[in-house]
Amino acid sequence: MDPRLNMQLQESFAEVAFFVGICWTIYLIAKTIRRRQQDAMQKYVLDKFSSAQDFAQFVQSPAGQRYLAGLSVVVTNPRNTIITSIQTGCVVMFGGMGFLVGNGGMGTASFRIGWVLFLAGAGFLISAGLSYFMAKKVGWKEQDQFGH
């Protein structure tokens, strides 16, 4: 292979790996910010109640029932956990692939980081697959839990 072409390919792959790394970092930051905003909103709503009696009245109202149902669906719905694992697995796996490809075949730290990220992403995807099959095996209703 022409040395100039090889150098151009390595530079291009390094740019792609850098871009993937930046995108992954932005994704993680956005996810963290979103979770903090949700937590702050829930805390704000709960702080609005001056007594346990006010909270009990709210919980008994239709709006309170919807609020609590929304909290429990987020926490207990396996669909959300599985989808989050798939999303995280894909992002981490492709980030690792970016480091591997951007490395150009050299045995550097970038190569090692790429393999660690790639395998961690694969682990998330395997975990999501196992969770899906376990959810089906345990007998969770697909139309309720998985939206079919």
Could you tell me the pLDDT band of residue 145, with boundaries at 50, 70 and 90? Answer: very low
pLDDT one-digit tens code per residue, 34-77: 888 888 887 887 787 777 788 788 888 888 787 777 665 555 56
pTM: 0.48
Q: Quick check: 82 and 129 in contact, CB under 8 A?
A: no
In 3-145, where does DSSP find H-type helix?
Answer: 3-47, 52-60, 62-76, 78-103, 109-138, 142-145
Interhelix angle 78-103/62-76, nearest 10 degrees? 40
Q: What is the pLDDT of residues 88-108, one digit of tens each?
A: 888 888 888 877 776 655 567
Max Cα–Cα distance, the chain, nearest Å: 78
Residues present in the chain in total: 148
Q: CA of 74: how far to CAs of 54, 84, 85, 111, 147, in Å?
A: 24, 11, 14, 37, 14
pLDDT at 75: 53
Which residue do the tokens 């090889």 mark? 6
Q: Where are the domains of the chain?
A: 3-139
Residue 74 is predicted with a pLDDT of 53
